[in-house]
Structure 1
Amino acid sequence: MFNVNPYPLFQLFLLFLLFHPNVSARESASALLTDRFILHSPSSGSSSAPQEYIDPTRPSLLLPDGPPSCSLPVLRHDFANTYGSPPASATYSPPADCPAPWAHVVLDLSVACAGDQYDRIAAVWLDGAELLRTSTAEPTESGVFWRVRKDVTRYSALLRRSNASVAMMLENIVNDVYTGVYHVNVSLDFYQEEEKRRRRPSGEPLALGFFPQDSSGLITAEVELGRIEERLDFSSVEAGNPLTSKAKVPSLYEEPADLIIPISNEDSAGGFWFRIQNESDAHFKNFKIPNNTYMAVLEIYVSYHSNDEFWYSNPPDEYIKKNNLTTGRGNGSFREVVAKIDGQFVGSVVPFPVIFTGGINPLFWAPVVSLGAFDLPSYNVDLTPFLGLLLDGQLHNVSLGVTDGIDFWLVDANLHLWLDPHLDSVTAELVSYKAPEISVSRRYMFHLLNGTFKIEAGRKIHFSGWVNSSLGNLTTDVDQKLKYKSLIEFMNDGNYKGVHMKGKVKTDVRIRTGPKAILSQGTYKSKYPLLIATLALPGENNTYTSKTNLTHTLYEEYTLLRDKVVTTSALVDRQDAEGWMLVQDHSVLSGSAGTRQTYQYRDDNGSYLRKVSARDGVLLSDNTTSSYLVASL
C-alpha cells in the first residue's frame, strides 16, 4: 500500500492554536456549526472566460478508450427556478444503429452555470432506477463548466428497454440573489462488443456475476467480491448432475444483471428518492422476484442534507441545549443506512463522507472539487444468501432507514437480479444468519463551550445460503466487519473545532460447492479517515474569519484468490486543503485557500498516479504518470 501521513497540517494548526489568544464568543461556536456557504462573485466588469472544474478521482484509464460506436442524447434541460417541481424527463429507447450487447455504456453529463448559486444535489433515473447521484459546483460570475463520465454498463437490462423514461432531478432556486441557472446535457455513449471479445454461445450458462464499480471506477466488492470469475465448465458434466468432480472454474467472464427492480419512490413528483427525516422514518417498497433468480444484489444510493449534511461533525443534543445554541445540527456524529427485507436486517452502510462544493470552505473546491462530489458512490449489499426467503412467488418488501438520522437524507436503491436461462425455477435456503445489533459507545465530556465527544461503533455479520440452479448447488458466504470512530473537540472557549473521523469496512465473500471446496474468495477493504480543524475569529459587522485545515482520504484494497492465483488492486485518493475565509451569515466575502490532491491506483497490470494542485481558484499543476500502455477496457 501507499504510505500517506495525514497529520502534519493538523500539528502545525494546533501549535498555532495554543499560542493564539482566547476569543470568547458564543457566536463563534455557532459559526463552527455552520459549514455550508455560498461564494459570491465580485461585482466587476471582468469578462474572463468560463472555467472548467475537475474531479481527479475519475482517471481515464478506467473508462473506454477511443470513440464510441454511437452516442445518444437523452436529456437536455435548464434548471432555473425548479425547487418543488417534478424531475425533468424524456423518452428513451436504445440506439438502433448499435444494438445490444454492449461492451460498455458510459453516461456523459455536462453542466454549465454562471452567477451566484449554492451547490445543489441531483440524480438521473431510468424507469425509476438511479444511474447517477451527483452534485453541482458553485459557479462564478464568469461561469464554470464540468463533465461527469460514469460507466453504467451494469444497468444494461434497463438500457435495452424501449420507450423508457429518463428523468433528472435538480432542485434550484433563482431570484434576485441566487442567479445561477444550471444548463445540463445528458447523453449515453455505447461501445459495442469487439470482434475479438468472447461471446456467450447459445445455451452456454450465464456468468455468476460481475464486479460493480464505485465512484472512482475502481473494482469493488461489497456486492460480489469474486462472483464473476467463477463459471462452471459444463462440457464434461454428466446429464442431470451438474456437480461432477470434473466441473472446473474457467477464465473470467463478466455479465450484468438480467433484471433490475427500482426500490424507489413511485410518487416521483419530488424525485424518485425517498426523503428520510428522522431515525424512525423508514421507507418501504414491495417487490416480487422471478422464481429462477440465482443471485441478487441491492445497490444503495444515499446523500445527506440540511441539518445532517455534516453528520460526521454533529455534536450531541446536550451540548447544544446547555449552551443555548440555535443550530439544529445535533444527534451526535454517527449514522448508518440500514436495509431490511420484511423487517429483517440484511445489510448496512456507514457512508463515505462526501463534502459538497459549498461545504467547510468553498474556496477549497475551485476548480478541484471534493472527493466524490460529482459522482457520489453507491453501496452494494449481497442478498444471494436470502434467496431462500424470497423465492416463494410472494410479495416482499425492502425498507431503508438511517440510524440516528435527522432531517434529511435522500435514499433509494436498485435490486439487481440474475436469472437462470435453463430453469423456470431454482431452489435456495438460508442456512446461517448472524446479525447482532450494532454496538455503539458514546462518551461525552464538556464544560460550557469546551468539550470532547467520542463515538465508537462496530458491527460483525455473517450470512450463508445455497442456491441450486443449472450452475450447480453453490453456497455463498458473506462476512463483514464494520468499524467507526469519531472524536469531536471544542476548545478555546468554543472557537476551535476538531473533527477526527474514520470508517473502516472489511467484506469477504466466498463461493463454494462444499464445506472446503471454495471456488473463489474475495476480500474488499476500505478506510476513509477525515480530519478537519477550524478556528473561528469574531470580527466586525457580524462577520467572522474561519481558518481551516482539512485532510480527506479514501483507501480501497481488493484481493481475489482463484485457482491458487492471487490478484490485487489498491487505491489511495487524498485531498489536503488549507485556507481562510471572511464570512457574513453564509456568504464568503473574501479569503484564500489551496488544495492538493493525489490519486494513486495500482493493480496487477500497472500503476497510475495523478497529482493536482490549485490555489485561489487557479489550477497550478496537473501531472499524471502511468505504466498502462493504453486506456483499460
Structure 2
Amino acid sequence: MVPGGFVRHLAVCVLAATLVGGFSVRAAADPVVGSTNVATADPTVPRPPGQPCVVTLFTNVAFDDFGTRPYSYAPPTSCSGSWSKVVLEADFSVTAGRQYDRTATLWLGGVNLYFGTTQEPSKTVSPAWHVERDLTDYAALLRNAGQGQAIIGNLVNSTYTGVIHGSARLLFYPASAGARAAEAPDAVYPLGSDPVGSTVSLNTSSDKLSRTLTLPTNVERAYLDVFTQSQGGDEFWYTCVPDAYAAQVSECGGGNFREAEISIDGQPAGVAPVYPWIYTGGVDPYLWRPTPGVQTLNFMPYRVDLTPFAGQLSDGNPHEVAVQVAGANGYFSATAALLVYRDAHAKQVTGKITRNTLAGQAPTPTIGNTLVTASNGDIAGDITTKLDRHFVIEGYAMTSHGRITSSVTQNTGFDDTQTFTINSSTYRQLTSQRTWTDSKSESRLGNFPVAERQQHVSYPFTLDYNQQLASDGSTSAASTVHQGYRQRDELHLFGLLAYGANVDNTVDSQDTLVFDASGSLTSHSGQQSAQTFAFHDTRGSCYRAALTTQAGAVASYNAGQGCPDGTNRVSWFAHPDGSPSSSLLPGH
C-alpha cells in the first residue's frame, strides 16, 4: 500500500512546479572591453527574495607562505530560523609581479566550502576575481559553531613576488512565503581526517581518501560530493601515454585515463568522472589572460548517489566510505563530503543491497596504437584509450513510508586519442578527449514508481600543441585548447517531468610562444580566446553570456542574447553553474 500523505506531498510539488515563477538576477560586474582583469562569462548564484544575514569568515587576509589561515565561525543569530538558501562569496586578488597559480581551499569542521585555483599575475596586471558557491545543502553543518581555515600555499621571495589576498563571507537567506525553506540534508560528514579541513593526496590508484563512520540508524537518502584535482606529475594527466610509449613520444607515462572510484566497506558504490581542469599557468600562461579555463577559479563537485546503500548504512555498525582515483600517478588532491537525509518518523531503517553490477568491473581501459617509426626516426600515428561501462546498483530500505527501492543505473565512458607528428622540425601532439556519463536514479515505493532523476554530463576536451624548430635554432610553440562542460538534469515525479535544466560552458583559447636558440622565451603572439555560457530550465530560466579576448584584454562581451527580451532571468532556486542539488524539487 502507498502511504497517501507521502504521495499527496509529491503531487502538490508536481502541481506547484507548473505554477511557481520567481526570478532573481544577480550578476557580478560585467567584463569591460579593454580590461586586462579577470573576465568570465560564468553566472553567479541566483538569490531568493529578502535580505540575507551575513557572516564574515575573514577579511583581506594575506597569503604569502604555506601556512593555514584559521578562522572561527558562528551561525547568524538574527537568522536562526529556516533558510531558503546559503551562499558563499569570496574575493581574491594577487599583486602584480611573478607568481605561480596556487590551489585555494576553504574549510569548516573538516568540510570543504570552496575549491579552486588562482589567477597568475603579470608585471603590470594585479588580477582580482570573485567566486561563489551554493552551500544550501550544507545547512546542517552551518547550524553549529566551528573552526575553519583558508589554505592558499604561496611562495613569496625576490623572484616570486605576487602576494595573494582574500576575503570570504556566508550569506543566509531566511525562508519566507516567496522562498520556502530548503529541503537540505540532515547531516554532513567529511571524509578527511583533519578536524578543521584539508585535502588528501592520492598518489596511486590504491591510495584512499576514506573515513569510517557510524551513522544514524534512520538514513533514508545519501549522496557524496567529490572533488579530485590533478597535481604534480598528474597536472597534465590528459596528455600522458601508457608507459610502453612514453619514451618513444617523449611524453609522461602512466596513461591518461583517470576516474574517481567510490566504495562502501570495500564494495564498489559509484564512480565520478574527473574534469580536465587547466590552471592559469598551464600549457601556456598567456592562454588564460584574462579569461581562465572552464571552472579553473571555482571547481564544481560531482555528486554520487549512494541512496541504494541507505539500509546498509543504517544498521548501527561502522562503515568505511572511500574515494580512490583510478590511474593516479603522483598525484590527485581529493576531498569529499557525505550528505545524509534521515527518516524523521523512523528510529530504525533496515535494508540491504540487492544488486551491484559495478562489482567486478575493473576500471581498465583498452589501449590502441597505430604509431609508425620511419627509418629516419620520424614518428606518426595515434595512441587511443577507451573505456565504456554500464552498471546498476540497487537496494531497498524499510522506512516509515514503506519499502523504498532505490536504484542507480549508469553508463560511463572515456574516449581519448593522442595523435603525434614528430620529426626533425616538428613536435605536434593533438589530444582529443571526451569523458561522459549518463545516470538514472529511481525510487519506488513498493511497486509504485515515485521519483526518477536523470543526468547527462560530458567533458569534451581538445589540446593541440604544435612546436616548430626554425633553421636558426629558435622554436615556436602554438597551443590551441577547447574545453567544454555540458550537463542535462531531469527530475520526474510519477512519470511526469517536474523539472529539467541544461548547462553548457565552453572556453576556446590559443597563443604561440617563441623561444630563442638558448631556450629563453622571447615573445608570444596571437593570443585570443572565447567563452560562452548558456543555461536554461523548464521553469523559464534563461542565462546566456559570451566574451572574447585578444592580446590579453577583453575584446567583446554580451549578456542575454538568445534569451527572451534579450535579458538573463534565472529562478532563485536554480543552479545555473551546474552545482548539484538533491532536493526532491527545486524551490521546495
Q: TM-score, normalised by structure 2?
A: 0.83
Which residues of 2 match residues 73-472 of structure 1 at below 5 A? 73-76=56-59, 78-83=61-66, 85=67, 87-114=68-95, 115-141=97-123, 142-162=125-145, 164-198=146-180, 254-266=182-194, 272-322=198-248, 325=250, 329-435=252-358, 436-446=361-371, 447=373, 449-472=379-402
* Alpha-carbon distance in 2 for matches of 1:187, 1:166: 12
> What is the identity, as a one-letter code, of the residue corresponding to 1:509?
S
> Match for 1:403: what amino acid?
A
With over 3 angstroms needed to count, the CA separation of the structure-2 counterparts of 1:521 and 1:195, relative to structure 1, is closer
Change in CA separation of 1:74 and 1:54 when aligned onto 2, cut-off 3 Å: same
**Is 1:506 paired with 2:491?**
no
Q: Residues 527 and 554 of structure 1 are in contact (CA less than 8 Å); yes or no, is this contact kept in structure 2?
A: yes
Distance 1:153 1:606, change over 3 A: closer
More deviation in 580-589 or 334-343?
A: 580-589
Do the aligned partners of residues 66 and 419 (structure 1) sit closer, same or farther apart at CA in structure 2, a change above 3 Å counting?
A: closer
| Distance (Å, rounded) in 2 between the aligned partners of 1:552 and 1:355 | 9
Evaluate the alpha carbon distance shift between residue 583 and residue 358 of structure 1 in structure 2; reply closer, same or farther with a 3 A threshold: farther
Distance 2:366 2:170 in 1: 46
Compute the RMSD of aligned alpha carbons. 2.4
3-state SS in 1 of match to 2:137? helix
User: Given the alignment, which residue of 608, 612, 628 partners 2:547?
Assistant: 612
Deviations 1:468-507 (A, max 9, x none): 2223321111100101100001104261110000111000
1:321 deviates by 3.1
Give 1:547's aligned amino acid: A
Q: Quickly say closer, same or farther: Cα 1:198–1:632, change in 2 above 3 A.
A: closer
Following superposition, the deviation at residue 344 of structure 1 comes to 1.0
CA spacing shift, 1:159–1:589, aligned 2, 3 Å: farther
Alpha carbons 1:79, 1:172 under 8 Å: kept: no
Residues 552-563 of structure 1 correspond to what in structure 2 (within 5 A)? Answer: 552-563=483-494
1:489 lines up with 2:419 in the alignment: yes
Distance 1:98 1:583, change over 3 A: farther
| Alpha-carbon distance in 2 for matches of 1:561, 1:478 | 15
AA matched with 1:485: D
Query: How far is 1:590 from its partner?
Result: 3.2
Partner of residue 53 from structure 1, selected from 19, 38, 60: 38
C-alpha distance in 2 between matches for 1:529 and 1:178:
34
Q: Partners of 1:427 and 1:588 in 2: how far apart? A: 68
Deviation (angstroms), 1:578: 2.1
Three-state SS of the structure 2 residue aligned to 1:503 is strand
Distance 1:79 1:291, change over 3 A: same
The match for 1:9 is none
> 2:226–2:301: 8 Å Cα contact kept in structure 1?
yes
Q: Output the CA distance in 1 between the equivalents of 2:500 and 2:535.
A: 11
Contact residue 381 and residue 421 of structure 2 kept, 8 A: yes
Gap change, CA 1:572 and 1:287, over 3 Å in 2: same
Q: 1:339: Cα distance to partner?
A: 1.4
Amino acid at match of 2:399: S
For residue 543 of structure 1, report the CA deviation from its aligned partner: 5.9
Task: Measure, in 1, the Cα distance between the counterparts of 2:120 and 2:215.
Answer: 42
CA distance in 1, matches of 2:349, 2:191: 24
Residues 541 and 409 (structure 1), Cα distance of their counterparts in 2 relative to 1, 3 Å cut? farther
- Residue 234 of structure 1 aligns with which residue? none
Residue in 1 that maps onto 2:460: 529
- CA gap of 1:188–1:392, structure 2 versus 1, over 3 A, is same
1:232 corresponds in structure 2 to none
- In the superposition, relative to structure 1, how do residues 197 and 550 fare at CA in structure 2: closer, same or farther (>3 Å)? closer
Local SS of the residue matching 2:365: strand
Distance 1:357 1:310 in 2: 13
SS of residue matched to 2:440: strand
**Contact preservation (8 Å) 1:265, 1:273:** no
Contact 1:63 1:151 (8 Å CA) reproduced = no
What secondary structure sits across from 2:323 in the alignment?
A: strand
1:352-399: CA deviation from partner (whole Å, max 9, x where unpaired) = 211111112222212211101111121111111112322221222122
Alpha-carbon distance between aligned partners in 1 of 2:298 and 2:69, rounded to the nearest angstrom: 19
Residue aligned with 1:265, SS: coil
Structure 2 letter corresponding to 1:367: P
State the one-letter code of the partner of 2:176: E
- Three-state SS of the structure 1 residue aligned to 2:347 is coil
Compared CA separation, residues 261 and 93, structure 1 to 2 (3 A): same
Cα distance in structure 2, aligned partners of 1:119 and 1:500: 25
Report the Cα offset of residue 630 of structure 1. Answer: 4.6
Paired residues of 2:559 and 2:568 also in contact (CA < 8 A): no
Q: Deviations over 1:590-621 (max 9, x none)?
A: 33310011112222214322111111111111
What secondary structure, in the 3-state scheme, does the structure 2 residue paired with 1:389 have?
Answer: helix
* Count of aligned positions: 520
Distance 1:587 1:510 in 2: 56
Tell me, in whole angstroms, the C-alpha distance in 2 between the residues paired with 1:559 and 1:263: 28
- Measure the CA separation in 2 of the matches of 1:583 and 1:341: 51
Which residue type is aligned with residue 534 of structure 2? Q
Q: CA deviation at 1:527?
A: 1.3
Is the 2:84–2:174 Cα contact (8 Å) retained in structure 1?
yes
The AA in structure 2 aligned to 1:259 is A
| C-alpha distance in structure 1 between counterparts of 2:35 and 2:147, whole Å | 32
User: Shift in Å at residue 159 of structure 1?
Assistant: 0.8
Q: Which amino acid aligns with 1:320?
A: A
In the alignment, structure 1 segments of 5+ residues that lack a partner are 1-48, 200-253
Q: Secondary structure at the match of 1:312?
A: helix
State the one-letter code of the partner of 2:368: R
Distance 1:120 1:159, change over 3 A: same
Q: Check 1:266–1:587 CA distance in 2 against 1; reply closer, same or farther (3 A cut).
A: farther
Identity within the alignment, %: 24
